[in-house]
């Protein structure tokens, strides 16, 4: 189907609402995406018609709900090109997935003297869990630096790699800079020294389907809410052999085979890693979100998003004193910027009054802010439903804000 | 003038503004006018870190009354700080402790003092009261 942005916008009811008396211009997609009506309907539909706890229930509702929930897993499996459905683990979100690996895999596999490599552009959620487990196990955290454009210094990465490296954890697309990292090359190099790789795909999933087998990721994590699905559910993909040998992360219902007070044996994958009642409605809506994504023309969306990025970049650069932070050659539709003499928070407050939603601050990447010697940025992050007209509204609001503030 | 008389004065001032533009332009001008905190007081001890903006706050006791000085790197935050200081400074610790800051709500700036804003203002108000409690034993 041909991509038409005005038609697509009709799928998202929130895009026609007003904020502070102005039509909403939503440019905070890096924080969370909006939801199409069919996803919203799927959540309400579950509670209206099928609400019941999944797995092991013999009654009809439980079976209907279980089937719909497991459909979400299968849809994700196909979408990310995983070999087995049990390699797809439902989590609470990206952060939860990283914590599961740092805790369960890290505790079983890291030893004193081992090294974990992350990058200077990581979100705090891909820094802190590794700091915690490294401290516990006496392992060392190493950091791949970025250049002034916000690209990873691959030569520095190669120097950091050694037989001590046990894990490389990195983001595929930077939430702050928009940089698209060469994950396939990074993974190949890590595998050469026998290290495993976790890819944080939080920002990737709104722009393109991850292909976990093509890049050969050992672990791949993301949340559904950034890909037009519900909050409170995410995915951890892991290679089957790695997940099988990994001890459970949490104990509870659903993850056991047999429990006695002396010993518990664990359930098979994926349930071994999914203790307790999950977010069922969100799991069911996951299937709908993937269907929705698959119904779109992604070749044309890529062109559209590239046009938005190029157009917005060009318009922003015309503003006096504005500097874009992150100018990688390969970049997703995320633009961070600072304006000389004007605080990002003040800009965010004023443009909001004109209906424009952007994010301001350090974007949970404080070490990256330190690298660039700044406190924070204003970030406009675009999704396929954004338009050039919205870029124009951002520019008008921004100019007015700068005028008021300087 | 009591704290509440000062609050009522600010509420009256804000009633003149017709739209958000006027209100924010006023806040911005207040932010620009706020006398800067002495550089020696811009220490890590006096910093209140928010996710969004940083605030520095110091309080001194002079003739049994608290004198507050503060600063922020964001101008709108600074404008609101200026209002806070106007209301609370040069007052007895006891009066500050007993004060309820109702003006924020009335002038339509409540969103800036929501804990989720993380601009340091909520912590600043708490810290101003903490200073009052600390100094009350010295009066």
Over residues B13-25, the mean pLDDT reads: 91
CATH code reported for the domain at A41-294 = 3.40.640.10
CA A310 to chain CA centroid, nearest Å:
23
ipTM, interface predicted TM-score of the complex: 0.89
Q: Cβ of B138 under 8 Å from any chain A Cβ? A: no
pLDDT at A149 over 70: yes
**Domain range list for chain A:** 5-30+297-405, 41-294
Closest to A27 in 3D by CA, of A320, A281, A356: A356
Probe site for chain B from A345, A363, A366, A377 (most B CB atoms < 10 A): A345
| Cβ under 8 Å to A: B residues 4-43 | 20-21, 24-25, 28
Collapsing DSSP to helix, strand or coil, B72 comes out as strand
> Does residue B53 have a pLDDT over 90?
no
CATH architecture of A5-30+297-405: Alpha-Beta Complex (3.90)
Interatomic CA distance for residues A195 and A204, integer angstroms: 23
**Measured between CB atoms, which of B21, B25, B119 is closest to A345?**
B119
- Buried residues in A342-367 as b, exposed as e (16+ CB within 10 A): bbbbbbbbbbbbbbbbbbbbbbbbee
Stretch among A116-130, A175-189, B73-87 having the lowest mean pLDDT: B73-87
Question: Which is higher by pLDDT, B73 or A358?
Answer: A358
Q: Is the pLDDT of residue B51 over 90?
A: no
Residue A247 backbone dihedrals phi, psi, to 5 degrees: -70, 160
- Cross-chain residue pair B52–A360, CB shorter than 8 Å: yes
The verdict on domain B3-136 having CATH code 3.30.70.270 is no
- At residue A179, the pLDDT reads 98
CB contact under 8 A, A361 and B52: yes
Crossing angle of helices B20-33 and B3-15, in 10° steps, is 130
Portion of chain B with pLDDT greater than 90, in percent = 55
Q: Where are the domains of chain B?
A: 3-136
> Residue B139 has what pLDDT?
79
Contacts of A361 in chain B (CB under 8 A): 51-52, 118
| Intrachain domains A5-30+297-405 and A41-294 with the same fold | no
Q: What is the mean pLDDT of chain A?
A: 97
Locate the DSSP E strands across B3-136: 47-49, 54-62, 65-72
Which of A377, A380, A381, A397 has its CA nearest to residue A337? A377
How far, in Å, CA of A398 to CA of B7, rounded? 32
Q: How far is it, in rounded angstroms, from Cα A131 to Cα B33? A: 44
In 3-state terms chain A splits into helix, strand, coil percentages (rounded to 5) of 45, 20, 35
Q: How many CA atoms lie within 13 A of A113 on its CB side?
A: 3
| Structure tokens belonging to residue A369 | 């802010």
Cβ-based neighbours of A280, under 8 Å, separated by 6 or more? A46, A51, A53, A54, A65, A69
pLDDT tens figures, A339-371: 999 999 999 999 999 999 999 999 999 999 999
Single pTM value for the model: 0.94
pLDDT tens figures, A169-219:
999 999 999 999 999 999 999 999 999 999 999 999 999 999 999 999 999
Say whether pLDDT at B116 is over 70.
no
Those of residues 329-358 in A touching chain B at CB distance below 8 A are 342-346, 348-350, 353
């Amino acid at each position: 189907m041909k991509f038409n942005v005005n038609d697509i916008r009709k799928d998202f009811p929130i895009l026609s609402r007003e904020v502070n008396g102005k039509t909403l211009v939503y440019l905070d997609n890096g924080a969370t995406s909006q939801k199409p009506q069919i996803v919203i309907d799927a959540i309400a539909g579950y509670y209206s018609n099928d609400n019941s706890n999944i797995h092991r229930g013999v009654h009809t509702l439980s079976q209907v709900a279980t089937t719909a929930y497991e459909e979400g897993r299968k849809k994700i499996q196909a979408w990310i090109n995983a070999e087995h459905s049990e390699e797809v683990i439902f989590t609470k979100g990206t952060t939860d997935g990283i914590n599961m690996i740092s805790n369960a895999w890290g505790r079983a596999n890291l030893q004193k003297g081992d090294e974990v490599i992350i990058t200077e552009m990581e979100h705090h959620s891909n820094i802190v869990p590794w700091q915690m487990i490294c401290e516990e196990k006496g392992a060392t955290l190493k950091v791949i630096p970025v250049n002034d454009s916000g690209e990873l210094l691959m030569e520095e990465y190669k120097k950091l790699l050694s037989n001590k490296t046990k894990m490389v954890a990195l983001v595929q697309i930077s939430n702050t800079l928009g940089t698209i990292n060469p994950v396939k090359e990074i993974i190949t190099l890590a595998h050469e020294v026998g290290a495993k790789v976790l890819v944080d795909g939080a920002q990737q999933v709104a722009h393109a389907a991850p292909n976990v087998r093509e890049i050969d990721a050992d672990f791949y994590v993301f949340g559904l809410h950034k890909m037009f699905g519900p909050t409170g559910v995410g995915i951890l993909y892991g290679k089957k052999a790695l997940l099988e040998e990994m001890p459970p992360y949490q104990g509870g219902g659903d993850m056991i085979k047999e429990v006695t007070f002396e010993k518990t044996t664990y359930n098979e994958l994926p349930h071994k890693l999914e203790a307790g009642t999950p977010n069922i409605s969100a799991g069911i809506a996951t299937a709908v979100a993937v269907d929705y994504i698959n119904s779109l023309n992604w070749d044309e969306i890529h062109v559209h998003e590239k046009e938005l990025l190029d157009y917005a970049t060009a318009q922003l650069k015309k503003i006096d004193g504005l500097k874009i932070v992150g100018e990688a050659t390969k970049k997703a539709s995320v633009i961070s910027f600072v304006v000389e003499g004007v605080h990002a928070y003040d800009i965010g407050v004023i443009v909001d009054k004109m209906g424009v939603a952007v994010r301001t601050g350090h974007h949970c990447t404080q070490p990256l802010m330190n690298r660039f010697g700044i406190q924070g940025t204003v970030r406009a992050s675009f999704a396929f439903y954004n338009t050039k007209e919205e870029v124009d509204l951002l520019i008008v609001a921004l100019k007015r804000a700068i005028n008021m503030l300087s | 003038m009591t704290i509440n008389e000062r609050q009522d004065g600010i509420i009256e001032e804000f009633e003149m503004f017709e739209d958000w533009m006027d209100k924010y332009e006023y806040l911005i001008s207040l932010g620009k006018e706020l006398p800067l905190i002495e550089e020696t007081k811009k220490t890590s001890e006096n910093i209140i870190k928010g996710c969004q903006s940083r605030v520095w706050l110091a309080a001194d006791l002079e003739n049994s009354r608290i004198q507050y000085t503060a600063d922020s790197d964001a101008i709108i935050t600074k404008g609101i700080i200026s209002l806070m200081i106007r209301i609370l400074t040069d007052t007895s610790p006891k009066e500050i402790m007993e004060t309820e800051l109702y003006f924020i709500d009335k002038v339509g700036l409540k969103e800036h003092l929501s804990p989720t804003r993380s601009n340091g203002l909520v912590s600043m108000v708490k810290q101003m009261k903490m200073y009052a409690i600390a100094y009350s034993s010295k009066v």
